[in-house]
Amino acid sequence: MARSSTEHRTVAYASSRGRGVLLASIVGSGMAFLDSTAVNVALPALGRDLGAGMAGLQWAVDAYLLTLGSLVLTGGALGDAWGQRKVFLLGLIAFTAMSVVCGLAPTASVLAIARAAQGIGAAMLVPTSLALLRTAFPAVDRQRAVSAWAGLSGVSTAVGPLLGGWLVDTASWRFVFFLNLPVSLLALWAAMRFVPDIAPERDARTLDLRGAVTVAFGLGGVIYALIEGPAHGWTSLSVSAAVGGVLLLGLFFYLEAHEPHPMLPLSLFHSRTFSGANLTTLAVYFALGGALFLVVIALQQQAGYSALAAGASMLPLTLLMMLLSPPVGRLAERIGARPLMVAGPLLAGAGLALLTRIHRGGDYVTTVLPGVVVLGIGLALTVGPLTAVVLGSVDDKHAGVASGVNNAVARIAGLLAVALLPMLGGITGQTPENFLGGMRRALWISAALCALGALCAQLMLPKSTGKVERPRPKEDRAPVRPPLGRTPAPSGGGRS
């Protein structure tokens, strides 16, 4: 089995090639993030054009999140087995091709199928874009690289509603998907020119196909039931899908415990740090995904906002994440990630609570802006340190899998939120009273989950998690030779 010589193939963060690697990673993952948030703004127009009800709108979001969430572990494992650069390029091409099909979809059913196929490309693109930072940069530069990735990828997530709203109002919801064409060309150029082609750490013959199939169909059954059950009644089909999905998910964990080369090494969760970071991810991204899905629809259908105005209402998120992510990364290096991962979710929850003040006839400055600003500060404090903790808690050979696990947790959290929160909020129709009241209940649930995420970080992360110790001058330290085929882990990486 080929092993990478990562220590000798890394690139400096401040070099032109390092900036090129960062560009490819940010643009590649940013495409997937931007697409998901931009589509949220386009949902009302999409629903009118294609005649889709609430269930149809949920599937336009969840068909994508379903394949992304269920296959992102496979995508991370493929990166470890085939090479991060190769899988990144394959995912980029597949994602772009399916974006064109989405933009041409004549019906809601065709769009849902195309979105599911688009999610397959994203499942290869997203985990490898982050794993590239772990394999391409030396340990001393990874915190800065991950912080830059988190901030600028977060910007792409936040700018999605603004850009999507402008495209919907000036052209068509279809251009939300066509936008991926020029963006993908930039990512393709940067990846081909700057990203090093490092040999994989794993043998491709060890890929866990049984695990990939069982988790995909297990999640598919559960999500189908959660969307179709409340929308059309709990028929024998939806009940069977729920039961079958749960059984397949149970089988998945059984297989992973006994598989020689599992796609999800359960040993990763022996690390209290890794487990705590992923529990925080689950709580925060569940809250965020479901809340923003409902808020953007409410602003347009209930508060009278245009698509552009609804997208622009989220602009402070963009600015705050852009401005705060770099200093937050430097602060995490000095004080560790845990204080930030406690304060961030608490602030995000407070922002979601403030958004419950949205009502018909309310002005933006008093009813929307305060919640968006507090939410943006909370996310800026959370995202970068969280990502760095996840990557710092595993060995290099598991970089792709660890990235895949965390991305899977985040996407599955959003997927479950879109399916569950409307039901938990009691949204059974789209009349102003029913929808706004249900949205408020869902936002309070989301705020409570953010507080739970902060508690997980406080209880499960060590105090020093995320600190990076800069190397001393060479004359002050003895040389250390790493074992063959391994790269020294970043100090303070949070192993437990």
CATH topology for 12-195+263-468?
Growth Hormone; Chain: A; (1.20.1250)
Cα–Cα dist 96/151, whole Å: 23
What's the distance, CA 352 to chain centroid?
19
pLDDT at site 144: 78
* pLDDT tops 60 at residue 430: no
* pLDDT tops 70 at residue 20: yes
What's the distance, CA 204 to chain centroid?
25
For residues 96 and 181, the answer to whether their CB atoms sit within 8 Å is yes
In the predicted model, what is the mean pLDDT of residues 273-279?
89
Q: Of all helices (H) and strands (E), which one includes residue 249?
A: helix 236-258
pLDDT band at 207 (very low <50, low <70, confident <90, very high): confident
CA dihedral 231, 235, 237, 241 (to 10 degrees): 70
* pLDDT tops 50 at residue 491: no
Cα–Cα dist 157/424, whole Å: 25
Residue type for 223, please?
Answer: I
pLDDT at site 238: 87
CA dihedral 128, 133, 139, 143 (to 10 degrees): -120
For residues 163 and 307, the answer to whether their CB atoms sit within 8 Å is no
84-138, pLDDT tens digit by residue?
888 999 999 999 999 999 999 999 899 999 999 999 999 888 888 877 887 788 8
Q: Give Cα separations from 38 to 240, 265, 293 (angstroms).
A: 33, 34, 11
Count CB neighbours of 216 within 10 A: 21
Cα–Cα dist 132/153, whole Å: 14
Cα–Cα dist 203/197, whole Å: 16
Cα–Cα dist 50/46, whole Å: 6
pLDDT band at 387 (very low <50, low <70, confident <90, very high): confident
Per-chain mean pLDDT for the chain: 80
Which of 173-177, 220-224, 484-488 shows the lowest mean pLDDT across its residues? 484-488
Cα–Cα dist 47/55, whole Å: 10
pLDDT at site 211: 85
Which of 261-270, 271-280, 322-331, 467-476 shows the lowest mean pLDDT across its residues? 467-476
392-417, pLDDT tens digit by residue?
777 766 666 777 678 778 877 887 78
Q: Give Cα separations from 327 to 133, 333, 337 (angstroms).
A: 19, 10, 13
Per-domain residue ranges of the chain: 12-195+263-468, 209-262
pLDDT at site 466: 53
143-163, pLDDT tens digit by residue?
778 777 766 766 666 677 778
pLDDT at site 75: 82
pLDDT at site 397: 65
The most confident of 39-53, 110-124, 282-296, by mean pLDDT: 110-124
- N-to-C CA span, the chain: 29
pLDDT at site 373: 95
Percent of the chain with pLDDT over 70: 85
pLDDT at site 255: 92
User: In 3D, which of 280, 492, 483 has the Cα closest to residue 397?
Assistant: 483
Residue type for 336, please?
Answer: G
pLDDT at site 493: 37
Q: How many contiguous H segments (helices) and E segments (strands) does the chain have? A: 18, 0
In terms of pLDDT, which residue wins out, 361 or 70? 361
pLDDT at site 492: 36
pLDDT at site 487: 36
Cα–Cα dist 397/379, whole Å: 29
Cα–Cα dist 317/382, whole Å: 13
Cα–Cα dist 226/422, whole Å: 10
pLDDT at site 229: 77
For residues 113 and 63, the answer to whether their CB atoms sit within 8 Å is yes
pLDDT at site 428: 58
Cα–Cα dist 401/73, whole Å: 6
User: In 3D, which of 399, 402, 387, 384 has the Cα closest to residue 487?
Assistant: 399
* pLDDT tops 50 at residue 41: yes
pLDDT at site 456: 92
pLDDT at site 365: 92
Residue 360's contacts (CB-CB under 8 Å, 6 or more residues apart) are: 302, 303, 304, 432, 436
In terms of pLDDT, which residue wins out, 308 or 373? 373
